[in-house]
Amino acid sequence: MRPRHLALAIAAAACSAGVCALQRTADFGFGNDDSPANAKAEFYWSRLAYSSRMSAMQGFGSYSHRGWYNSWSRDYPKADRQFLIAMHRLTRIEGRPTEQVVTLDSDEIFNYPWIYAVQVQNWSFTDAEAKRLRDYLLKGGFLMVDDFHGTEDWENFMNGMRQVLPQSPVEDLHSGDEIFHTLYDIDDKMQIPGEQYVWTGRTYEKDGYQPKWRAIRDDKGRIVVAICHNMHLGDAWEWADDPNYPETFASMAFRVGLDYIIYGMTH
Amino acid sequence: MFQFFFKYPGPVFSRGRLVLLSAWPAWLLPVLILAAAAFIAWLLRRPRGEAAPALGNWRTLVVWAMQSALVGIILVLLWQPAMTVGELNSQQNIIAVVLDDSRSMSLPDRGAASRESSAIAALEKNILPGLQQRFQTRMYTLGEALTQVPSPHGIAPLEPATHLDSGLKQLADETSELPVGAVLLLTDGGQNGAELGRSEISPEVIQELRNRRLPVHTVGFGNPEAGHDLEIEDVSLASGAVANARVTATITLKQYGYLGQKATLSVRDGEKTLAQREVDLQPDGRLQTEPLSFSAGAAGAKRLTFGIAPLAGEENQANNAMTRPFLVSDARRRILYIEGEPRWEYKFIRRAEDGDPTVQIVSMLRTSENKIYRQGISSPDELSQGFPSRAEDLFAYTGIIVGSVAADYFTPVQQELLREFVDRRGGGILFLGGSSALSDGGWAASSLGDLLPTFLPQGNHNFHRNAATVELTPAGLDSPITRLLDDPEKNGERWKKLAYLADFEDPGTPKPGATELVDMHAGRRKLPLLVTQNYGHGRTAILATGGTWRWQMSEALGDPSHDLFWQQLLRWLVGETPGPVTASMPARLLQDEGRVRLIAQVRNRDFQPAADARVTAHIVGPANSDSVIDLTPSPDTQGQYQADWTAEKPGAYLAEVVAQSSGTPPQELGRDVVTFQREDGIAENFHTAQNRQLLQHLSAATGGRYWNPSDLKNLPREISYSDAGISARTTKELWDMPIVFMLLLGLPLGEWLLRRKWGVL
């Protein structure tokens, strides 16, 4: 394929992905569409679609051995939907069975007080986006971040976080923290690896040898950002039905995710 | 003039009794009068010759009336009419002269330096010389108490209060052995009691005076209407509130001379102004009621001053302010919130109450079918068995929020406890909308349907996850629950601009007696959103949504609307919920007297009246005065205890009432605090216009007369007509009254003139 044709193909694919993303992010359940795919519910599994540094370098997305993907959409949507199945079976939360993608482009995000973000070492914010996320968290929104590993990823994550909450310290969570006791009492946590564990046997990626359960609190001590560093809960949800992926990791990931949601809906 | 026609003064007729001195039977008189009238009618109507001039019908009637009246008067005179009236014997009776020497008598009077100087001048020039010709006089002054003085000389208006009630009673008691023929009271009628409804002579005192047949003649000084004055008449204020609550006081005021002008009302705590607003002044003398809202502020016993700023030319500025004791409590009231499913409303209600130190939410959330997540509990055991099934457990809370929970989640025992919680315990229950709430939760068919403030709709598909906008009803514009802004109009506009609700539920129609505070617009439907009602001793409300959380997430960061609304709603829910011990007193503001009755209603943990409790009150007053008193059971009301006590010094007092069970060892049942205040000398600043109505009532009720200071010359003579003291009944014949002769001549003369005019002589 000639370079010119390749560029056109990439542009067309990017446009298609963009249109698809726009369709998912428009009218977040508060419109008049009563179709089952857009059913209204109390809880929406809301995945944050952020603009990434990678996107800035490489366009809207990039290509890997799995096909087209965006940094924010790792494990999407299978992880989300499998988690929602577990949530429906194990809690009384009335949640929509399909996920919801939200962005920081508009105030629509304020309709979704719980959001989930992955690969946050790649996120970057404009000033307006950072302010919107800061307002969101200070008003009562809750953010769970997952799937970033090692020292470099941490620094990149914190670069974005300092734009949002520059004065708020990050602290390690302990087993006694309330967030681990809302639905399940999780006292013995472990590092939850991604799918790569199946063929490498390693629970870590990059230099993220130790799991870091961390959080940022508001001025009243309530957790507003729950940080799962050196872990990949999303993969554990996504591959929970894979016989090669250990059930122990998957079960722990579900319990942690449910505890975090209940915490986000009660604090 | 009256005496010119009738020969005798008015009291002869008003106090005397008509008698007929003739020996002929009295019944014969009306018979003869009727017979004469009939005979005259026959004469006038009998047929006469055609040459006789004819009278028309109405002319015949006039002639008949005049002739009958003439015959009637003559017949009455034949029966020798007379009046018998009690009259004081000369030089044998005492006239008690009582002069008001309270501070209000120092105010200027028409043309005189003061009311007091006018009264003394009237006494010395017009009254005492005449009285002393026939009677002994005994001089008294009346302020806080009645005091005998030798003469009016040297009396100065310095007394801090006027107690007409107790003064007249004291006079009647002290002179019970003396031949007092009448009482002459010179006053402005300023019976103290700045609060409305207290400026009256008590019926007991009037009855005592009537029993002695002692007439009270009153002479009123001072203008009945002030020239230019603003006056606070009354302040109606709750005895207390929780810290930082919005409180509304009702101020009653009156003005003279400032119609149409604006004045500024304010409430101050010491030097700090809590709130103020302008009001338009209404016509002279009309009572004007104005609400004034303010924040209760921090906890503590306070002395709030409600005032109206003086206007130019105001004659009396001492009546522009009034104080009230006010107790702000920081006791945390615990609300039990039961929620059937995790939802955002739960989180944001809890967050709103995080900022309210006076309310604590204890919540139980059904996270899964068999798991309950508890927050705000005081011990691991609290709610560990689920929703309380015993009164002593449930009644420990002051309010309950029922979220998206179906009615059948509660056992019949728990449902009955919910009813008792409101009806008997006096708590508040708030029902929220939700997928398992209200009609969708089967509440319409439950035994608790009558607890709800609306008639729930039929069916169970009344909850919708669609947007609804909100709007205040007229009742909600200035309700303390929905007041986001003080100005009702701006408040209404603010509500219209609030973010839409995430969901809504049709709550049906409000019941009679319920108050609809907020409406919502869902599509083309207009539905009640917030409805409240009183039920038994408590209150219930419906907020037909689970989606107010959008007000917090979608309004600007820092917007207080969501949190303020929820704090106000929950304070309303529990603000009036009584504790196990409720202390009260009939009046918390004591004016110029210290007697106070302290009452405590004591209940046990089941909120049944505690009949065998030990109740004490620790009273702290000014200058570190300190007393502990026991309250004794009331013979009339079970569980009520009371004690009488006297606040000796003016100032602020605080009484803490503690009730203990009678068991061994005794356990505390509860405690309550009440504040009160004694003010001396303040009341004289209020109601300074002459209270002519009171004086006229006092005189009329006792057989005396109200006198104007400018018309006293007949007083010494008329005061002698009294049945009190040493008196004799005298007979006053009436046949020679000038009016009789005028009628005897005037009636035939009038008939002749009329006949001549009509041409029928």
Q: How far is B456 from chain A (nearest CA, A)?
A: 23
Q: Which of A167, A105, A158 is nearest to A136 (CA)?
A: A105
**Which token pair is B171?**
């006079």
Tokens 């990678």 — which residue? A54
Asked if the model's pLDDT at residue B584 lies above 60, the reply is: yes
Which chain B residues have a beta carbon less than 8 Å from that of A42?
341-344, 435, 465, 546
Q: How far is A200 from chain B (nearest CA, A)?
A: 37
Which site among A90, A108, A266 would you substitute to test the B interface, given the most B Cβ atoms closer than 10 Å to its Cβ? A266
CATH number of the domain residue B707 falls in:
3.40.50.410
Which site among A28, A87, A92 would you substitute to test the B interface, given the most B Cβ atoms closer than 10 Å to its Cβ? A92
Residue of A nearest to B468 (CA): A30
CATH number of the domain residue B236 falls in:
2.60.40.150
> What does the pLDDT look like over B426-484, one tens digit per residue?
999 999 999 999 999 999 999 999 999 999 999 999 999 999 999 999 999 989 999 99
pLDDT under 50: residue ranges of chain A: 1, 15, 17-32, 55-68
- Does the beta carbon of B372 lie under 8 angstroms from any beta carbon of chain A? no
> What does the pLDDT look like over B635-666, one tens digit per residue?
999 999 999 999 999 999 999 999 999 888 88
- The rounded distance, in Å, linking the Cα atoms of B458 and B442 is 10
CATH number of the domain residue B347 falls in:
3.40.50.880
CA distances to B236, B542, B644, B676 from B651, in Å: 20, 44, 18, 9
pLDDT for position B638:
94
- The rounded distance, in Å, linking the Cα atoms of B716 and B610 is 63
> What does the pLDDT look like over B528-564, one tens digit per residue?
999 999 999 999 999 999 999 999 999 999 999 999 9
B211-230 b/e with 16+ CB inside 10 Å = b?
A: ebbbbbbbbbbbbeebeebb
Single-letter code of the amino acid located at B529: L
pLDDT for position B648:
92
- Does the beta carbon of B737 lie under 8 angstroms from any beta carbon of chain A? no
What one-character-per-residue DSSP string does A128-177 give?
HHHHHHHHHHHHT-EEEEE-B-HHHHHHHHHHHHHHH-TTPPEEE--TTS
Query: Are B396 and B511 part of one and the same domain?
Result: yes
Query: Are B467 and B353 part of one and the same domain?
Result: yes
Given an 8 Å threshold on Cβ–Cβ distance, is A107 in contact with B554?
yes
Given an 8 Å threshold on Cβ–Cβ distance, is A92 in contact with B549?
no
What one-character-per-residue DSSP string does B425-480 give?
T--EEEEEP-TTSGGGGT-TTSTTGGGSSEEPPSSS--EE-S-BEEEE-GGGTT-T
Which site among B341, B363, B367, B550 would you substitute to test the A interface, given the most A Cβ atoms closer than 10 Å to its Cβ? B367
Task: Choose among A42, A222, A262: nearest Cβ to B367.
Answer: A262
Which chain A residues have a beta carbon less than 8 Å from that of B346?
265-266
Task: Choose among B340, B347, B465: nearest Cβ to A265.
Answer: B347
Given an 8 Å threshold on Cβ–Cβ distance, is A265 in contact with B348?
no
Query: Are B475 and B547 part of one and the same domain?
Result: yes
Residue of B nearest to A108 (CA): B554
pLDDT for position B744:
93
Task: Choose among A94, A139, A222: nearest Cβ to B557.
Answer: A139
Given an 8 Å threshold on Cβ–Cβ distance, is A91 in contact with B342?
yes
Single-letter code of the amino acid located at A60: F
- The rounded distance, in Å, linking the Cα atoms of B656 and B598 is 11
What's the mean per-residue pLDDT of chain B?
91
Query: Are B76 and B111 part of one and the same domain?
Result: no
B590, B647 in Cβ contact below 8 A?
Answer: yes
**Which token pair is A81?**
């939907």
- The rounded distance, in Å, linking the Cα atoms of B535 and B424 is 10
Model confidence at B729, in pLDDT bands (50, 70, 90)? confident
Query: Are B448 and B533 part of one and the same domain?
Result: yes
Given an 8 Å threshold on Cβ–Cβ distance, is B553 in contact with A262?
no
A59, A11 in Cβ contact below 8 A?
Answer: no
CATH number of the domain residue B598 falls in:
2.60.40.1930
Q: How far is A183 from chain B (nearest CA, A)?
A: 7
Query: Are B558 and B595 part of one and the same domain?
Result: no
Given an 8 Å threshold on Cβ–Cβ distance, is A43 in contact with B342?
yes
**Which token pair is B72?**
């009637």
Query: Are B525 and B384 part of one and the same domain?
Result: yes
pLDDT for position A4:
55
Q: How far is B397 from chain A (nearest CA, A)?
A: 21
Asked if the model's pLDDT at residue B592 lies above 90, the reply is: no
Task: Choose among A30, A92, A135: nearest Cβ to B369.
Answer: A92
Which site among B371, B553, B559 would you substitute to test the A interface, given the most A Cβ atoms closer than 10 Å to its Cβ? B553
- Does the beta carbon of B375 lie under 8 angstroms from any beta carbon of chain A? yes
Q: How far is B328 from chain A (nearest CA, A)?
A: 26
Among A142-156, B434-448, B596-610, B689-703, name the one with the lowest average pLDDT: B689-703
What one-character-per-residue DSSP string does A213-251 give?
EEEEE-TTS-EEEEEEETB-HHHHHHTTT-TTS-HHHHH
Q: Which of B752, B293, B352, B403 is nearest to B566 (CA)?
A: B352
End-to-end CA distance of chain B: 36
Asked if the model's pLDDT at residue B497 lies above 60, the reply is: yes
Task: Choose among B344, B467, B553: nearest Cβ to A30.
Answer: B467
Which site among B347, B369, B432, B501 would you substitute to test the A interface, given the most A Cβ atoms closer than 10 Å to its Cβ? B347
What is this model's ipTM? 0.87
Q: Which of B238, B337, B249 is nearest to B293 (CA)?
A: B249
pLDDT for position B352:
97
Given an 8 Å threshold on Cβ–Cβ distance, is A135 in contact with B557?
yes
Query: Are B337 and B462 part of one and the same domain?
Result: yes
Query: Are B292 and B343 part of one and the same domain?
Result: no
- Does the beta carbon of B549 lie under 8 angstroms from any beta carbon of chain A? yes
Residue of B nearest to A141 (CA): B553
**Which of B329, B345, B368 is where one domain is finished?**
B329
What's the mean per-residue pLDDT of chain A?
86
> What does the pLDDT look like over B259-278, one tens digit per residue?
989 999 999 999 999 999 99
- The rounded distance, in Å, linking the Cα atoms of B577 and B399 is 8
Task: Choose among B354, B368, B502: nearest Cβ to A91.
Answer: B368
> What does the pLDDT look like over A183-224, one tens digit per residue?
999 999 999 999 999 999 999 999 999 999 999 999 999 999
- Does the beta carbon of A33 lie under 8 angstroms from any beta carbon of chain B? no
Model confidence at B48, in pLDDT bands (50, 70, 90)? low
- The rounded distance, in Å, linking the Cα atoms of B443 and B450 is 10
Given an 8 Å threshold on Cβ–Cβ distance, is B365 in contact with A266?
yes
**Which of B329, B348, B383 is where one domain is finished?**
B329
Query: Are B7 and B116 part of one and the same domain?
Result: no
Q: How far is A223 from chain B (nearest CA, A)?
A: 13
> Residue A196: which residues within 8 A CB-CB, separation 6 or more?
A202, A205
- Tell me the count of A-B CB pairs closer than 8 A: 84
Which chain A residues have a beta carbon less than 8 Å from that of B348?
140
* Bridging pattern class, strands A114-118 and A46-49: parallel
Which site among A87, A94, A135, A139 would you substitute to test the B interface, given the most B Cβ atoms closer than 10 Å to its Cβ? A139
B470, B518 in Cβ contact below 8 A?
Answer: yes
Asked if the model's pLDDT at residue B668 lies above 60, the reply is: yes
- Does the beta carbon of A119 lie under 8 angstroms from any beta carbon of chain B? no
Model confidence at B32, in pLDDT bands (50, 70, 90)? very high
- Does the beta carbon of B373 lie under 8 angstroms from any beta carbon of chain A? yes
* Bridging pattern class, strands B668-679 and B589-591: parallel
3-state helix, strand, coil in chain A (%, to 5): 45, 15, 40
Which chain B residues have a beta carbon less than 8 Å from that of A139?
552-553, 557
Residue B66: give the domain boundaries: 2-87+731-758
**What is the number of structural domains in chain B?**
5
Query: Are B242 and B194 part of one and the same domain?
Result: no
- The rounded distance, in Å, linking the Cα atoms of B342 and A113 is 13
- The rounded distance, in Å, linking the Cα atoms of B229 and B257 is 7
Which residues are paired to B328 by β-bridges? B241, B300
Q: How far is A38 from chain B (nearest CA, A)?
A: 12
Q: How far is B309 from chain A (nearest CA, A)?
A: 42
**Which of B294, B329, B364 is where one domain is finished?**
B329
Q: Helices A150-164 and A127-139 meet at what angle, rounded to 10? A: 80
Asked if the model's pLDDT at residue B337 lies above 80, the reply is: yes
pLDDT for position B224:
82
Query: Are B418 and B553 part of one and the same domain?
Result: yes
Q: Residue A193, preceding bond cis, omega within 30 degrees?
A: no
